[in-house]
Amino acid sequence: AQSVTQPDIHITVSEGASLELRCNYSYGATPYLFWYVQSPGQGLQLLLKYFSGDTLVQGIKGFEAEFKRSQSSFNLRKPSVHWSDAAEYFCAVLPEYGNKLVFGAGTILRVKS
């Protein structure tokens, strides 16, 4: 079945440490890929997106993500986490010929000082 998997429900990192949030998808063709962030009580904000071309994409707030076709992955990274990055992060996929985003279950990021 087509799906988006974020294997980590919770991740805790120290402020200043690097971060990687995992996302895997299972779609036949290469879908369009997105990462969103949700702060408590808020809606979702787009961090970055991948459609084609360079497999390393840069987003807002110092985030980047790398598309790896062989692994069906689109992991989100940040070299140095700030306390304000604490939030929930969602990977999302727009399947080829699809008309709606499919979201992963989300990863809650906690930042400790």
Q: Which tokens is 7 given?
A: 């294997």
The yes or no reply on residue 32 touching another protein (CB under 8 A) is: yes
The yes or no reply on residue 22 touching another protein (CB under 8 A) is: no
Which one among 78, 106, 109, 111 touches another protein, defined by CB under 8 A?
A: 106
Beta-strand relationship, 10-14 and 107-112: parallel
Q: Which tokens is 26 given?
A: 């299972």
The yes or no reply on residue 28 touching another protein (CB under 8 A) is: no
The yes or no reply on residue 100 touching another protein (CB under 8 A) is: yes
How far, in Å, CA of 59 to CA of 56, rounded? 10
The yes or no reply on residue 40 touching another protein (CB under 8 A) is: no
CB-based contacts of 70: which residues, under 8 Å, 6+ apart? none
Q: Is the dihedral of CA 15, 104, 71, 99 positive or negative?
A: negative
Which of these ranges, 14-22, 42-50, 64-72, 73-81, lies near another protein under the rule CB under 8 A?
Answer: 42-50
Beta carbon nearer to another protein, 85 or 95: 95
The CB-of-57 to another protein minimum distance in angstroms stands at 13
